[in-house]
Amino acid sequence: TSAEEMALKGRANQASLSQHIPAETSSNDYRASSLHSATAIEFATRTWRMDDFAKEQALGPVLLLKIDSEGHDFEVLRGSSRLLEEGGVAAVVFEVAGQMNGDFFSIHKEGMAPPASVTAGLRPLAEPNLHSMVRWFELLGYDCWLMGSRSLIPLSSDWWHDSYEVCLTRPELPCWYDVLALPAAG
């Protein structure tokens, strides 16, 4: 099979496989002293690409693929690309989270200000981010909406506005948002 062994680090309910968590961090959830506490966990776990799992289990069409992988949603989505390309998924819900890239991690987990080089436009925001994920879905034939408490905000194509990159533009707010992706009409 195509299962891989991955090292998990963090504390209960904050465990992570993220490559975006630096070895030395001031985040209470991930810093070394926290990892050696009584609540710390560290173990190896098997992982599978969703495409391989679906093939091995002979899954039919998927009505809803809900991803909640603590900041690893884009990695899960990339492992589901064949299902998505073939139109095998009717709807996807995924999260944008504070540990999904190095910039978001430093802002939302370490409490640092948004990088001046990014806000000044001197360098792009680290990926994956909301905009890069929306563009990726568009290439696969899906449209995306930010899921509000009472509304859906369109993100795809001409609807995109840089202010929707809330994890950068509104650092005082939590970086934890759900996004809905549906096959594009037409």
pLDDT digit of tens for each residue in the chain (186 aa)? Answer: 344 544 555 555 455 555 666 666 666 666 554 445 555 555 566 778 899 999 999 988 999 999 998 788 999 999 999 999 999 999 999 999 988 898 998 999 889 999 999 988 889 999 999 999 999 999 999 999 999 989 999 999 999 999 999 999 999 999 999 999 999 987
Task: Please tell me the predicted confidence (pLDDT) of residue 35.
Answer: 47
Task: Please tell me the predicted confidence (pLDDT) of residue 178.
Answer: 96
For 100, counting Cβ atoms within 10 Å of its Cβ (0-12 exposed, 13-18 middle, 19+ buried), the class is: buried
Task: Please tell me the predicted confidence (pLDDT) of residue 186.
Answer: 73
| Chain centre to alpha carbon of residue 22 | 17
Task: Please tell me the predicted confidence (pLDDT) of residue 47.
Answer: 75
Q: Which two tokens stand for residue 56?
A: 């091995």
Task: Please tell me the predicted confidence (pLDDT) of residue 25.
Answer: 65
Assessment of whether the complete model's pTM goes beyond 0.85: no
Task: Please tell me the predicted confidence (pLDDT) of residue 2.
Answer: 46
